[in-house]
Amino acid sequence: MIRTHGLRYKYPAGPQLAFRDVELARGGVLLLQGRSGSGKSTWLSLVAGLLTPTQGDVEVAGQALAALSRGARDAWRARSVGFLPQKLHLSEALTVRANLALAFYAAGLPEDGARIDEVLARLGVGEVARRKPSQLSGGQAQRVALARSILMNPRVLLADEPTASLDDEAAAASLELLREVAQACGASLVVATHDVRVRNALADAVVYRLDATEPVAA
């Protein structure tokens, strides 16, 4: 479901990041651990096709990302990858419903209002559809962002620091919800974190530590 080989990425003003090869089966769970700045968000962005590797190959759900043009890669991502970023990026100018509708536009598909209502209800936030993000609690906003990420029944679900700033109870609930949603979609789940609580909650996950031997400066 996710395969990387010889993956490298160099920011214009920084060192080259080098990542060990990864292979994660469909429905598998990968825990991407490392201190802040170790390359977790970069790795997620490479797998999501948001960044193009300096070297190496990425294959996700049978699709080699290098074979896609930029536009085709954007459409593929919108349909195949659910991405829950650390910053939720909900537009304050739009209602919750309109925020989710943007996912259909990105995928090049007609808006499906029934699907939006279904997913919001499934995540327990159906009542907030007409609210603006500023009118949501932190937990509601996170559930709305998760709803947006799974609208297309993605084959891969990526979560970047999903427990940041959450207390123990909220963190446990967030991780349980992520796991349940990934299983319901039949998606592989990748959680990037430096939160030690996540390791206990995802005890059966494959662990990839970025700060153990990689990334390294070239």
Q: Report the sign of the C-alpha dihedral through residues 190, 162, 169, 144, in that order.
A: negative
Sign of CA dihedral 18, 186, 29, 157: positive
**What stretches of 91-210 show up as alpha helix (H) in DSSP?**
96-106, 113-122, 138-150, 168-185, 196-201
For the chain, how big is the Rg over CA atoms in Å?
17
The pLDDT assigned to 50 comes to: 94
Total residue length of the chain: 218
Amino acid letter, 72: A
Which pLDDT does position 211 carry in this prediction?
Answer: 62
pTM, rounded to two decimals: 0.88
d(CA 93, CA 70): 27
CA distance linking residue 153 with residue 94, whole number of Å: 23
Beta strands in the chain (DSSP E): 2-10, 16-18, 22-24, 29-33, 55-60, 63-64, 81-84, 156-160, 188-193, 206-209
- CA triple 205-150-171, angle to 5 deg: 50
Per-residue pLDDT of the chain (218 residues; tens, 9 = 90+): 899 999 999 988 888 899 999 999 989 999 998 887 788 999 999 999 999 999 999 999 899 999 999 999 999 999 999 999 888 889 999 999 999 999 999 888 999 999 999 999 988 999 999 999 999 998 899 889 999 999 999 999 999 988 887 788 888 888 888 888 899 888 999 999 888 888 888 888 899 988 644 444 33
Omega cis (within 30) before 215: yes
The DSSP bridge partners found for residue 197 are none
Instruction: Name every residue whose Cβ is closer than 8 Å to that of residue 62 and which is 6 or more positions away in sequence.
Output: none
Can you give the pLDDT at residue 217? 36
Measured CA distances, 29 to 11, 54, 70, 116, 180 (Å): 28, 26, 28, 26, 12
CATH number of 2-209: 3.40.50.300
Question: Which of 181, 199, 188, 194 is closest to 142 using CA atoms?
Answer: 181
Q: Element (H or E) spanning 44, and its range?
A: helix 40-47
Joined together, the tokens standing for residue 166 give 């959450």
